[in-house]
Amino acid sequence: MTALLTILILLSITVAIWQMVKIFDLANANTENSQIATDKDNRVNGYLMMAFLAFIYIITIVCFVYWGDLPLMSNAASEHGPGLDALMIVSMVIIFIVQTITQFLLHYFAFKYKGEKGKKALFYADNDKLEFIWTIIPVIVLAGLIIYGLFTWSDIMNFEEEEDALIVELYAQQFNWKARYAGEDNVLGMSNVRLIDIDRANILGLDESDPNAQDDVIATELHLPVGRQVIFKMRSQDVLHSAYMPHFRAQMNCVPGMVTQFAFTPTITTAEMRQTPEMIDKVANINRIRTEKSKKLAEKGEEPLERYEFDYLLLCNKICGKSHYNMQMKIIVESEEEYQAWMKEQQLFKNSLVQN
Amino acid sequence: MSAHADTHAHDDHGHHHHKETFITKYIFSQDHKMIAKQYLITGTIMGVIGVIMSMLMRMQIAWPEEPNVIFEALLGKWAPDGVMDADIYLALVTIHGTIMVFFVLTAGLSGTFSNLLIPLQCGARDMASGFLNMVSYWLFFVSSVFMVLSFFVEAGPAAAGWTIYPPLSALPMAQGGSGAGMTLWLVSMAIFIASSLLGSLNYIVTIINLRTKGMSMTRLPLTIWAFFITAVIGVISFPVLLSAALMLIMDRSFGTSFFLSDIFIQGEVLHYQGGSPVLFEHLFWFLGHPEVYIVILPAMGLVSEIIATNARKPIFGYRAMIASILAIAFLSTIVWGHHMFISGMNPFLGSVFTFTTLLIAIPSAVKAFNWITTIWKGNIQFNTAMLFSIAFVSTFITGGLTGIILGDSALDINVHDTYFVVAHFHLVMGISALYGMFAGIYHWYPKMFKRMMNKNLGYVHFWVTSVCAYGVFFPMHFIGMAGLPRRYYTNSNFPLFDDVSNVNVIITVFALIGGVFQLVFLWNFFYNIFYGKKTVQNPWRSTTLEWTAPIKHIHGNWEGEIPHVYRWSYDYSKPGHDEDFVPQNVPLKEGEEELHH
pLDDT in tens, A155-198: 999 989 988 999 999 999 999 999 999 988 889 999 999 999 98
Total residue count of chain B as it appears in this document:
597
pLDDT digits (tens, 9 = 90+) for B100-117: 999 999 999 999 999 999
Q: Is it the case that residue B550 has pLDDT exceeding 70?
A: yes
> What is the pLDDT at residue A205?
92
Q: Which residues of B touch A240 (CB under 8 A)?
A: 165, 167-168, 277
Say which amino acid occupies B75: L
pLDDT digits (tens, 9 = 90+) for A325-353: 999 999 999 999 999 999 999 999 999 88
Cβ–Cβ below 8 Å for B503 and A55: no
> What is the pLDDT at residue B6?
44
Give yes or no for B475 touching A (CB within 8 A). yes
B63, B387, B454 member nearest A2 (Cβ): B63
Give yes or no for A315 touching B (CB within 8 A). yes
- Cβ neighbours of residue A99 closer than 8 Å, sequence gap 6 or more: A60, B397, B398, B401
Closest CA to B418 of A334, A185, A316, A137: A316
Q: Is it the case that residue B476 has pLDDT exceeding 70?
A: yes
pLDDT digits (tens, 9 = 90+) for A80-128: 999 999 999 999 999 999 999 999 999 999 999 999 998 889 999 889 9
pLDDT band at B77 (very low <50, low <70, confident <90, very high): confident
> What is the pLDDT at residue B18?
54
Cβ–Cβ below 8 Å for B277 and A110: no
pLDDT digits (tens, 9 = 90+) for B255-278: 999 999 999 999 899 999 999 999
Which of the 8 DSSP states describes residue A266? B
For residue A48, the chain B residue with the least C-alpha distance is B463
pLDDT digits (tens, 9 = 90+) for B208-242: 999 999 999 999 999 999 999 999 999 999 999 99
Are B518 and B460 spatial neighbours (Cβ–Cβ below 8 Å)? no
For residue B257, the chain A residue with the least C-alpha distance is A257
Q: Which residues of B touch A116 (CB under 8 A)?
A: 379
pLDDT band at B21 (very low <50, low <70, confident <90, very high): confident
> What is the pLDDT at residue B19?
66
B320, B369, B466 member nearest A52 (Cβ): B466
Q: Is it the case that residue B11 has pLDDT exceeding 50?
A: no
> What is the pLDDT at residue B516?
92
Mean model confidence pLDDT for chain A: 90
Are A336 and A228 spatial neighbours (Cβ–Cβ below 8 Å)? yes
> Using CA atoms in the order B300, B303, B309, B313, what is the torsion angle rounded to 10 degrees?
-60
Binding-face residues of A in 78-117 toward B, CB within 8 A: 84, 87-88, 91-92, 94-95, 98-99, 102-103, 105-107, 109-110, 113-116
> What is the pLDDT at residue B593?
83
Q: What angle do CA A234, A235, A236 make, to 5 degrees?
A: 135
B314, B365, B417 member nearest A317 (Cβ): B417
Give yes or no for B372 touching A (CB within 8 A). yes
> What is the pLDDT at residue A314?
96
Are B307 and B293 spatial neighbours (Cβ–Cβ below 8 Å)? no
CA distance B301 to chain A (A): 17
Buried b (16+ CB within 10 A) or exposed e, A121-134: bbbebbeeeebeeb
CA distance A344 to chain B (A): 30
pLDDT band at A9 (very low <50, low <70, confident <90, very high): confident
> What is the pLDDT at residue A302?
84
CA distance A305 to chain B (A): 10
> What is the pLDDT at residue A31?
52
Give the mean model confidence (pLDDT) for residues B9-36: 70
Residue A167 DSSP SS3: strand
A134, A242, A282 member nearest B499 (Cβ): A282
CA distance A279 to chain B (A): 11
Tell me phi and psi for residue B26, to 5 degrees. -105, -25
Give the mean model confidence (pLDDT) for residues B464-483: 94
Give the mean model confidence (pLDDT) for residues A44-50: 95
> What is the pLDDT at residue B594?
81
Cβ–Cβ below 8 Å for A17 and B263: no
Please give the C-alpha separations between residue A342 and each of A97, A264, A287, A339, in angstroms, as whole numbers. Answer: 49, 21, 29, 5
pLDDT digits (tens, 9 = 90+) for A207-223: 999 999 999 999 999 99
Q: Which residues of A touch B358 (CB under 8 A)?
A: 142, 145-146, 149
> What is the pLDDT at residue B68?
86
Cβ–Cβ below 8 Å for B408 and A124: no
Going B230 to B232 to B233 to B234, the CA torsion angle's sign is: positive
Sheet containing A260-264: give its strands across. Answer: A217-219, A176-181, A166-173, A230-236, A260-264
Cβ–Cβ below 8 Å for A238 and B496: no
Give the mean model confidence (pLDDT) for residues B322-351: 94
Q: DSSP characters for A206-242?
A: B-TT-HHHHT-EEESSEEEETTS-EEEEEEESSS-EE
Are B419 and A160 spatial neighbours (Cβ–Cβ below 8 Å)? no
> What is the pLDDT at residue B316?
94
* Residue A296, Cβ density class (10 Å: 0-12 exposed, 13-18 middle, ≥19 buried): exposed
Domain spans of chain A, in order of start: 166-272+307-352
If one compares B5 and A89, the residue with the highest pLDDT of the two is A89
Cβ–Cβ below 8 Å for A41 and B459: yes
A70, A102, A255 member nearest B368 (Cβ): A102
CA distance B562 to B364: 36
Give the mean model confidence (pLDDT) for residues B22-48: 91
pLDDT digits (tens, 9 = 90+) for B193-205: 999 999 999 999 9
> What is the pLDDT at residue A175?
92
Are B93 and A320 spatial neighbours (Cβ–Cβ below 8 Å)? no
CA distance B163 to B250: 18
Are B395 and B467 spatial neighbours (Cβ–Cβ below 8 Å)? no
Cβ–Cβ below 8 Å for B377 and A124: yes
For residue A68, the chain B residue with the least C-alpha distance is B478
CA distance A83 to chain B (A): 10
> What is the pLDDT at residue A26?
66
* Other Cβ atoms within 10 Å of B371 Cβ, number: 27
Cβ–Cβ below 8 Å for B379 and A134: no
Radius of gyration from C-alpha coordinates of chain A: 29
Are B272 and B257 spatial neighbours (Cβ–Cβ below 8 Å)? yes
β-strands A217-219, A328-334 pairing: unpaired
Give the mean model confidence (pLDDT) for residues B131-135: 94
Q: Which residues of A touch B575 (CB under 8 A)?
A: 123
Cβ–Cβ below 8 Å for B351 and A105: no
Q: Which residues of B touch A74 (CB under 8 A)?
A: none
CA distance A48 to A114: 11
The domains found in chain B, sorted by start residue, are: 24-262+269-548 (1.20.210.10)
**B498, B513, B534, B535: best to mutate for the A interface, most A CBs within 10 A:** B498
pLDDT band at B7 (very low <50, low <70, confident <90, very high): very low
β-strands A250-254, A328-334 pairing: unpaired
For residue B536, the chain A residue with the least C-alpha distance is A34
Q: Which residues of A touch B489 (CB under 8 A)?
A: 324-325
CA distance B267 to B261: 16
Q: Which residues of A touch B90 (CB under 8 A)?
A: 319, 321-322, 324
pLDDT band at A32 (very low <50, low <70, confident <90, very high): low
CA distance A187 to chain B (A): 21
> What is the pLDDT at residue B9?
40
**A62, A322, A326: best to mutate for the B interface, most B CBs within 10 A:** A322
- The H-or-E segment that residue B265 falls in is strand B264-265
Cβ–Cβ below 8 Å for B496 and A24: no
The CATH number of domain A166-272+307-352, selected from 3.40.50.300, 3.30.9.10, 1.20.140.10, 2.60.40.420: 2.60.40.420
Cβ–Cβ below 8 Å for A318 and B417: yes
